[in-house]
Amino acid sequence: MARDIKIVGVVGLGTMGAGIVEVFAKAGLQVVAVDGTPELADRGRGFLTRSLDRAVSRGKLEAATRDEIVGRVTFADQLTRLSGADLVIEAVPERMEIKNDIFATLDGIIAEDAILASNTSSLSLTEIAAHTRHPSRVIGMHFFNPAPVLALVEVITTLFTDDELSGAIRSLAERLGKQPVVVSDRAGFVANALLITYLARAIRTYETGHVSREDLDNAGKLGIGLPMGPLTLCDLIGLDVIKEVCDVLYNATHDPAAAPPALLTQMVIAGRLGRKTGRGFYTYE
């Protein structure tokens, strides 16, 4: 019988992790939010409070509700603080060795029947699970940026995952007000397999120089009906993340459409990662 999920741990408080904390806390769950240092934990707290303050100032959230939401979250810099969690979701950088380390540590901290989830957008869930002590309790729970706004959660299952666990995570996603889709572990899962080839093609189109970045974005936004133009979306997602997904997709499929464009690779090397570094295809304050 799957355990009742009341306390959720989130590890890694960057853009995605902080957004995921907000989603869980807004849905009434207790959250223990952990990053590697006190400064990173504070940065995560800052992301949460700024996002909620923005909602208050736009008249979308009562100040008292904001305080209740913040009150459900404990920020910490030690994984041991997750010992009471029913579910831990990891949202750390996309490097297998970092994830494996965190999952190995969590294996020794959380209860036998607690769930280990990953928000990975590019790595193999099967490989992550295979490195843990109980692979059957590992599952993907992939949110989309901005996590508090976008409704999709991909629930990623592996050969180890039992139906009861995927059912429990599907129900949890619904409890969060999200729309889950269940997908087995394949490069890019579903959404990124579709989206990232489109974004890579947009970068290649921009590289040819026959259209300006603004006009290219307008074509995607006004002609194709997506909420943002492709280059603006690249900056939102992070060019490093896009490159990682391109690499994984290309290595798995050898589909030339998924090959990372030269400009993308160069921008990543140059540290122009998009909004999070203040500069990508556009510049940000």
Give the residues lining the site for ligand CAA (CB under 6 A).
51, 58, 60, 121, 144-146, 148-150, 192, 195, 227-228, 233, 237, 241
Strand bridging mode 152-157 / 138-143: antiparallel
In the complex, the smallest distance separating the C-beta of residue 211 from ligand CAA, rounded to whole angstroms, is: 21
The secondary element (H helix, E strand) that includes residue 140 is strand 138-143
Nearer to ligand CAA, 6 or 60 (CB): 60
List residues with catalytic annotation.
121, 142, 154, 192
Q: Closest residue to ligand CAA, Cβ-based?
A: 121
List 156's β-bridge partners, or say none.
140, 183
Nearer to ligand CAA, 36 or 146 (CB): 146
In the complex, the smallest distance separating the C-beta of residue 72 from ligand CAA, rounded to whole angstroms, is: 17
Which amino acid is residue 260, in one-letter code?
P
* In contact, 182 and 190? CB cutoff 8 Å: no
Nearer to ligand CAA, 2 or 56 (CB): 56
Q: And the tokens for 192? A: 């990124």
In the complex, the smallest distance separating the C-beta of residue 79 from ligand CAA, rounded to whole angstroms, is: 24
In the complex, the smallest distance separating the C-beta of residue 61 from ligand CAA, rounded to whole angstroms, is: 9
21 burial via Cβ count (<10 Å: 0-12, 13-18, 19+): buried
In the complex, the smallest distance separating the C-beta of residue 2 from ligand CAA, rounded to whole angstroms, is: 26
Nearer to ligand CAA, 104 or 149 (CB): 149
Residue with tokens 């305080």: 67
Buried b (16+ CB within 10 A) or exposed e, 245-278: bbbbbbeeeeeeebbbbeebeebbeeebbbbbbe
Nearer to ligand CAA, 121 or 126 (CB): 121
